[in-house]
Structure 1
Amino acid sequence: MKRIEVLEILADLTDHHPVVVTCAATSRELASVKDGDNHFYLLDAMGLVGSVATGIALDRSATATKVVGIEGDGSLLMNPNVLPTGGFLRPNLLLVVIDNEVYGSTAGLPTYSSRVNLAGLADAAGWKVGTATEETSIRSEFARLASIPGPTFLHIPIEAGNATGIAKLLVDPVNITNRFGAWLRQSNEASA
């Protein structure tokens, strides 16, 4: 399965969730599939999806809507401390790790995920974990993990490679922040 195919499924599943998205190819591909006000693209901030999503989830602790972080294996490996932090703080967060075993935006250099069990790390840190490899299991594992309070982790192994013909994501980061903040405020008011 390709990353853009996974992102198409996730875009369909996350309309009502705040979504924090890792930088580079993943952000560009998700924006090309479906650019939503509920998407917070972390441009040039590799490794910070778990940190930002944890902060948002802790702030939204009164709501039942889980925050979703869409992360890559290379980015998670740049900041793996989000796993024990999440296990300790217990944010209402679903961290989706799309694992292609390479840094997709830097010429496909290999990550350590072929030899480091990312789902095992999350489990050891206290996260509820699931793995999915095709559309039906992605949908069912997402639904299961989204219904469990606290930190949950969905590992999706995929093939390496970026989608072709995807435009650069040239939206001003201030505009991304403002529209995401407005969406969060409206979402919080609606759930109050």
Structure 2
Amino acid sequence: MKRIEALETLVSLTDQHPVVVTCAATSRELASVKDRDNHLYLLDAMGLAGSVATGLALTVTPSAPKVVAIEGDGSLLMNPNVLTTGGYLAPDNLLLVLLDNRVYGSTGALPTYASKIDLEQLAVSAGWTTRAADTVQELKAAFRELLTVPGPAFLYARIETGNAPGIAKLLIDPVAITIRFTHWLRENHAVAEAAA
């Protein structure tokens, strides 16, 4: 499964979910598939998608759809503490999708540690409910199943190396992205007063 195929699948499943997206190729490819107001692209903030999504999951009302983080292996390895934090705080409405291609896709495909470190097992050890997927069909099924589980959910998706060709840089002003996302969140899901 290519990253862009995984992202096309996730777009079809997340129109009502707050979606926090890691930087670089993942953000660019997701925006090329469908740029939506419910997408919070973390430009130049590698390693923070899971942290931001955990904070959102703790502030939206429990009845809101799960907050979805889309993360890469290199980015998660920059901040693996998000797994222990998410496991400890255990928000019911958090789903982290890890797209693991075992390389830093935006910097010449340099290898990450993911070839030797089992990131799914790290999530299990930290208290997350996990599922794995190698195909689009498995990704859809695992995503839908994880929407129903209590506590933090972790979807480990193995993807091929390589970026989709011809994808333009994402040149939206980060402030505009945040304002757009915040407006969507307030219009669609109640948030705690401290977060508003």
Length-normalised TM-score, structure 2 = 0.95
* CA distance in structure 1 between the aligned counterparts of 2:20 and 2:8, rounded to whole angstroms: 15
Secondary structure at the counterpart of residue 96 of structure 1? strand
Per the TM alignment, residue 31 of structure 1 is displaced from its structure 2 partner at its CA by 0.1
The residue type paired with residue 152 of structure 1 is A
* CA distance in structure 1 between the aligned counterparts of 2:111 and 2:61, rounded to whole angstroms: 37
The residue type paired with residue 103 of structure 2 is V
Length-normalised TM-score, structure 1 = 0.97
The aligned counterpart of 2:193 is none
* CA distance in structure 1 between the aligned counterparts of 2:111 and 2:188, rounded to whole angstroms: 39
Structure 1 stretches of 4+ with a deviation exceeding 3 A read none
The aligned counterpart of 2:114 is 113
The residue type paired with residue 35 of structure 1 is D
The residue type paired with residue 182 of structure 1 is H
The aligned counterpart of 2:86 is 86
Alignment of 1:11-90 (within 5 A): 11-90=11-90
Give the % identical residues. 66
List gaps (5 residues or longer) in structure 2.
Answer: 191-196
Secondary structure at the counterpart of residue 10 of structure 2? helix
> How many residue pairs align between the two structures?
190
Equivalent pair of 2:20/2:53 in contact (CA under 8 Å): yes
The residue type paired with residue 102 of structure 1 is V
The residue type paired with residue 88 of structure 1 is Y
Per the TM alignment, residue 149 of structure 1 is displaced from its structure 2 partner at its CA by 2.2
Per the TM alignment, residue 178 of structure 1 is displaced from its structure 2 partner at its CA by 0.4
* CA distance in structure 1 between the aligned counterparts of 2:128 and 2:64, rounded to whole angstroms: 18
* CA distance in structure 2 between the aligned counterparts of 1:101 and 1:164, rounded to whole angstroms: 19
Per the TM alignment, residue 61 of structure 1 is displaced from its structure 2 partner at its CA by 4.1
Change (3 A) 1:11 1:31: same
The aligned counterpart of 1:2 is 2
* CA distance in structure 2 between the aligned counterparts of 1:67 and 1:122, rounded to whole angstroms: 17
The aligned counterpart of 2:194 is none
Alignment of 1:98-137 (within 5 A): 98-137=99-138
